[in-house]
């Protein structure tokens, strides 16, 4: 009786091991490619080797700069992301619930969705000066339409029969939002968070590059002026690492919990 | 307790149904009445309930509540309409607020669902969900109670116990009640008045008062006289396809 179970388990484990190996080999291949290209070009100023990049990153880390600038950027992302999710979801729910509002504001949303991020940034800096508020505003404005559009579609798909039930029983709006609307919107909110976050990372760097005295984007501009490619790569890698960590340790667990909530 | 006056309520649906479902319904339900609405499938019983509940604004005519302000409604929809991701107790507390937890537990016990407080609707049978929906409607202490075939898909013995529960609830509170049922015997056992909605004409074909129901059976003399009349009126009408009472007496045509 035990034998088939054991062999089945062994089979699964070997598949998992296989996946792990594949990822490791893929990462090593990328490194080898990088190293090969660096050796071929043979100009550390143009394309530093992985080791040189690591050394540059280590130097920044030791000076305390790397952590500081990555943290500053993450804080900006967090604030703009939270604001955009809050405002975008509210707009999305309103537009999804009211056909009239949707007709009136759909055009605005289309303009917002197609407004180049660079335009909002430049305008915000010109109107409000090179301030933190202007930077946050620029990033938030860029992300709100995306979130609103996704949440609006999710809201339109909400179960009408449940709304009829809460209507006849006169359930308070707060309770309807918390217990009926949000659980149904969880997948849309998650999709909006994903799409929004991917956008925010990239925009925040440009905003910093254009008009902030700190953050990863600012550092990249500094090293651009010094033609220090190793440091630019080091900051990029550190930033990518932070993004992946947040995805793995924050977003995915939340996603799993919401999934359980929905299935429940 | 609240009364209700309908005058000339008419509901047409556009193509493709393109039917006059309700045509000029004039109806007064006095406070404290228990009215049963009987009629074959597709005659507009649910439509009438939805109009009264304020869920269908596409009617012409007039609906007026007697009493102060908007009455508190308790509704059992034709489908259970429980929130799928909330347990039974949370489903009940959603409509009443968290402070009614003791009453909610008691009501769940009364509809024989004790022990299922945390169960999700999908983990329950159709009949169990229906009883939870009944408990939910009673929990809000409604001024006006609307029940759309609440006892369908219950076995005969359980349906009998639920009828007794409804009867007790009504005798204690005299909540104005409008019950939709396919089952004349059920209507006779519970109501002070039976309305028959005629097929295809969209009007009320019969309106008979009954002596107030203390616990009684449909063998009561006065009641059986009324039932005899109603059976004559409804004789030859299509039997509802979703008749689930399985051999209980008192469907439209007498079984056998
Ligand atoms: N939203 C709608 N659009 C078009 N036609 C509708 C709509 N709702 C109901 N009808 C029509 O109105 C008629 C009455 O429907 P209703 O649901 O009120 O019947 P009912 O008496 O409750 O029947 P049952 O006993 O089967 O529940 C049906 O013929 C149906 O086709
Ligand atoms: Mg119906």
How high is the ipTM of this complex? 0.84
Q: In this structure, which ligand is nearest to the CA of B18?
A: 1
Average pLDDT over residues A162-187: 92
The ligand placed nearest to the CA atom of residue B76 is 2
- Choice from B12, B21, B39 to test ligand 1 binding pocket (greatest atom count within 8 A of CB): B21
Residue A12: per-residue pLDDT:
53
User: Do strands B3-13 and B19-29 pair parallel, antiparallel, or not at all (unpaired)?
Assistant: antiparallel
Instruction: Using CB atoms, pick whichever of B79, B120, B140 lies closest to residue A169.
Output: B140
Give the model's pLDDT for residue B239: 59
Contacts from A164-168 at CB under 8 Å and sequence distance 24+? A164/B55, A164/B77, A164/B81, A165/B75, A165/B77, A165/B81, A166/B94, A166/B95, A167/B54, A167/B55, A168/B53, A168/B54, A168/B55, A168/B73, A168/B75
Residue A8's pLDDT is 47
* Closest residue, chain B, to A177 (C-alpha): B94
State in Å: Cα B47 to ligand 2 middle.
7
Yes or no: domain A48-263 corresponds to CATH 1.20.1440.130: no
pLDDT confidence of A3, banded at 50, 70, 90? very low
Average the pLDDT over A18-25 and give the result.
Answer: 85
Predicted local distance difference test score (pLDDT) of residue B174: 93
Question: Cβ-count burial of B30 within 10 angstroms (0-12 exposed, 13-18 middle, 19+ buried)?
Answer: middle
Task: Report how far residue B206's alpha carbon sits from residue B237's, in angstroms, rounded to the nearest whole number.
Answer: 14
Asked whether B243 lines ligand 1 (CB < 6 A), one says no
Q: Which range, A140-154, A236-250, B211-225, has the best average confidence (pLDDT)?
A: A140-154
Structure confidence by residue, pLDDT tens digits, A32-66 = 999 999 999 888 888 999 999 999 999 999 998 99
What phi and psi, each to the nearest 5 degrees, are found at residue B192? -95, -5
| Contact residues of B toward A, CB < 8 A | 53-55, 70, 72-75, 77, 79, 81, 83, 85-86, 90, 94-95, 120, 136, 140
Question: Smallest Cβ distance to A264: which of B72, B85, B94?
Answer: B85
CB contact (8 A) between residue B81 and residue A170 = no
pTM of the model: 0.76
Tell me the mean pLDDT in the region A1-21: 55
Burial class (CB in 10 A: 0-12, 13-18, 19+), B94: buried
User: What is chain B's pLDDT, residue by residue, as a tens digit (256 residues)?
Assistant: 678 999 989 998 887 765 778 888 999 999 999 999 998 888 899 999 999 999 999 999 999 998 777 889 999 999 999 999 999 999 999 999 999 999 999 999 999 999 999 999 999 999 999 999 999 999 999 999 999 999 988 888 999 999 999 999 999 999 999 999 988 888 888 999 999 988 777 888 888 888 776 666 555 666 777 777 777 777 777 655 444 444 444 444 333 2
Cβ-defined contact of A164 to B73 (cutoff 8 Å): no
Give the per-residue pLDDT at A70: 92
């Amino acid at each position: 009786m035990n034998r088939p179970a054991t062999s089945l388990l062994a089979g699964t484990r070997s598949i998992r091991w296989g996946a792990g190996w594949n990822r490791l080999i893929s990462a090593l291949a990328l490194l080898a490619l990088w190293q090969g290209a660096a050796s071929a070009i043979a100009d550390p100023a143009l394309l530093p080797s992985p080791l040189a990049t690591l050394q540059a990153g280590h130097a920044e880390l030791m000076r305390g700069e790397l952590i500081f600038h990555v943290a500053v950027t993450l804080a900006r992302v967090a604030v703009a992301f939270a604001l955009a999710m809050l405002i975008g979801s509210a707009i999305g729910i309103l537009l999804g619930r009211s056909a009239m509002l949707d007709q009136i504001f759909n055009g605005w949303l289309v303009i917002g969705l197609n407004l180049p991020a660079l335009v909002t940034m430049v305008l915000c800096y010109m109107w409000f000066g090179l301030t933190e508020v202007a930077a946050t505003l620029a990033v938030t404005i860029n992300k709100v339409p995306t979130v609103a559009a996704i949440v609006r579609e999710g809201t339109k798909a909400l179960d009408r029969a449940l709304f009829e039930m809460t209507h006849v029983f006169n359930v308070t709006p707060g309770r309807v939002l918390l217990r009926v609307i949000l659980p149904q919107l969880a997948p849309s909110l998650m999709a909006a968070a994903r799409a929004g976050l991917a956008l925010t990372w990239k925009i925040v760097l440009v905003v910093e590059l254009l008009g902030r005295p700190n953050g990863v984007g600012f550092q990249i501009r500094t090293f651009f002026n010094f033609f220090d490619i190793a440091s630019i790569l080091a900051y990029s890698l550190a930033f990518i690492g932070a993004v992946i960590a947040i995805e793995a340790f924050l977003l995915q667990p939340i996603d799993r919990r919401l999934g359980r909530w929905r299935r429940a | 307790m609240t009364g209700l006056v309908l005058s000339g309520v008419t509901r047409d649906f556009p193509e493709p149904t393109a039917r006059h479902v309700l045509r000029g319904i004039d109806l007064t339900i006095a406070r404290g009445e228990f009215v049963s609405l009987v009629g074959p499938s597709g005659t507009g019983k649910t439509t009438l309930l939805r109009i009264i509940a304020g869920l269908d604004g596409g009617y012409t005519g007039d609906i007026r509540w007697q009493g102060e302000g908007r009455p508190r409604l308790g509704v059992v929809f034709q489908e259970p309409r429980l929130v799928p991701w909330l347990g039974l107790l949370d489903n009940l507390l959603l409509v009443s607020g968290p402070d009614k937890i003791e009453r909610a537990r008691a009501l769940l016990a009364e509809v024989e669902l004790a022990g299922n407080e945390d169960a999700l609707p999908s983990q329950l049978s159709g009949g169990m969900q229906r009883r939870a929906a009944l408990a939910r409607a009673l929990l809000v202490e409604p001024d006006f109670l609307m029940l759309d075939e609440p006892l369908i898909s219950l076995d005969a013995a359980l349906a009998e116990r639920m009828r007794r529960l409804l009867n007790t609830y009504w005798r204690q509170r005299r909540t104005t009640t409008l019950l939709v049922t396919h089952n004349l015997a059920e209507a006779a056992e519970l109501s002070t008045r039976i309305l028959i909605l005629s097929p295809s004409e969209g009007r009320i074909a019969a309106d008979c008062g009954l002596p107030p129901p203390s616990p009684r059976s449909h063998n009561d003399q006065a009641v059986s006289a009324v039932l005899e009349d109603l059976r004559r009126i409804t004789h030859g009408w299509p039997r509802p396809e979703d008749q689930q009472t399985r051999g209980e007496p008192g469907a439209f045509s007498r079984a056998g």
